[in-house]
Structure 1
Amino acid sequence: MQELRKGNIVFMLVEDDYDQEVIVSRVVKNSKIAKDFVFTRNGKEALDYIFGEGSYSDRDISIMPEIILLDLKLPKIGGFEVLKRLKSDIQTKDIPVVVYSSSCEEADKARSYQLGAYDYIDKPLDTRKFEKIIKGLGFSFSTG
């Protein structure tokens, strides 16, 4: 059995809803899975951050998020396009992307997996499923 990595990862949330940011950031903080929590509010900002473009042009792109939680319904560039770009780039194709969406459409879930999503979580956040996904990726998840 592989040893779980503890608290030394960069976790990225791509979400335009402030309430969801608060919920997810609280879970990430309380679980102690990440040393850094990166939050972007739209698809363009997320891609700029990851690839070191726009207002993030001075960012050290050798430090990439190790998990990305991605909403589908985003302003500027939608979640499907973000996922497509991440999975088609050699630098980012292996970063696990978990889609986090209010969409109950099976077609959205199927398309997410087709584009390379690691998993899909429905809103509101199901902490037990989130914990299972994090542990499945080899990261430690503390509940206390």
Structure 2
Amino acid sequence: MSIGNDCRISGKTTFSGRTDSTNPTLTIGDNVDIGWQTTIAVGDKIIIGNNVRIASQGFLCGYPGHPIDPHLRAQGLADLPQQIGSIILEDDVWVCTRVTIIGNVTIGSGSIIATGSMVTKSFPPNTLIAGNPAKAIKKLTYHPSSTHSEDTS
């Protein structure tokens, strides 16, 4: 696990790594917020880019913990290698409250994932993502601003 500079990780956050993986790796960039009651379950690797925000109760699920086959589950066997996957959140991604992201997913830079979404596939940069299963809602366009005004009233 490596954590960049100026990161904030709220209480009751859970980190786990799949025990049957060779070297589960979690890389967290700079200026990252990870909200309360978030679970990060590393299968192979999870990469969280710079300036990423993960709101409370997020679930990054790189491995399910159990096989799909009920007979194998009943035997107490671990998940199968084909069920394991990496998760990559590129720079400037915002993951809203109660979002689940499963393995083999990359979220492009500048994207926003709406509250309660279940992400099962990858999305390009600057995409508003929502739903269960999650879909691209629209392309996001940002207008750079040199100032951020505060409400003075």
Kindly indicate whether structure 1 or structure 2 has the higher relative contact order, using CA contacts under 8 Å at least 6 residues apart. Answer: 1
| More helix by percentage | 1
What range is the shorter-chain TM-score in? under 0.3
TM-score, normalized by length of structure 2?
A: 0.27
TM-score, normalized by length of structure 1?
A: 0.28
| More strand by percentage | 2
